[in-house]
Structure 1
Amino acid sequence: MKVVVGLGNPGRQYAATRHNIGFMVIDRLARELNVAVTKKMFNCLVGQGLIDREKIVLAMPQTYMNLSGQAVGPLLNWHKLDPSALVVVYDDLDLPAGALRIRPSGGSGGHKGMQSIIAVLGTENFIRVRVGIGRPEAVDMETVDYVLSRLEPREMEDALKAAAGSVVCIVRDGLEKAMNLYNRR
């Protein structure tokens, strides 16, 4: 069983922003797998489904980004899973827009949502799918303004498709194969 968590901020004002890439990937997976991510559980919206015969839980924390660990920790505990069953999908400023990087572990890279999860779980040993959003082109644009700025409807379509595919590949074929296929793009 895998718990796949997409990071983002709840609320309409954040719906199509760069910082909500994780939510967008979960939405895409939910559509592709015919999973309703509507049940409220431990400050998350969750849904359960299958990839082949592997049970998955799709989750979107409703705690706001910087407190994501407060939702992820209890969710893993409820399912009696350790962090090795966790896959976190989130935005990354340090990757070019649309690039993917899948890693088995690592630091937060300054991402506050990841800092929160690492602090609550007490480990960095869980899978992450980083979706590049690039850095702002305008030198005077604040980072917070950039990550909370809206995406054009089709701007990240290929990245969303690839990120959802990478999660399916992780569950179906394993982390190593997913890294070989998706980190090269």
Structure 2
Amino acid sequence: MAFLEISGLKKRFGAVDILKGIDLELDKGGFLVLVGPSGCGKSTLLNTIAGLETITSGDIRIDGRDISGLHPSKRDIAMVFQSYALYPNMTVAGNIAFGMEIRGVPKEEREKAIKQVSDMLQIGHLLDRKPSQLSGGQRQRVAMGRALVRNPQVFLFDEPLSNLDAKLRVDMRTEIKRLHQRMGTTFVY
């Protein structure tokens, strides 16, 4: 049985069908890359998996559990967007910890997670800086760190590298591949 399973997924905006019966199966720990021209529905598919868009019909299952009607916070999914969406008034550590703090994770556990993720992403030396003091690649790593500390069942990446220059995109693709191999979590990119 597939870990991430999408069956007959349809999404319509008004009279326009965007997703037309998507069927997809991905094993646990798999890495799926969605490729297609602009406007073909890649982001819409990711948004429906995350629960940010409601589906018109079909279902989405993670580990056999139907998540189609669940609120995004109940899906155990983390998403990294094209826009980093970092809080400018918070430090790197604060940005990474924010979601954990909201969920009531104890301070000691948050600090341990920040250390682990910042070491993994090689941003430990940046923890006291604000986003305005970071390069594009460093900001992207902070956004990834914020997703990684959640330790979800599935990671979704919606064009997370499109704001970076060509060389940094290549470097970050390698970094994402390395993270996937190290973590063994299911990735949809």
What is the TM-score of this pair, normalised by structure 2? Answer: 0.30
What is the TM-score of this pair, normalised by structure 1? Answer: 0.31
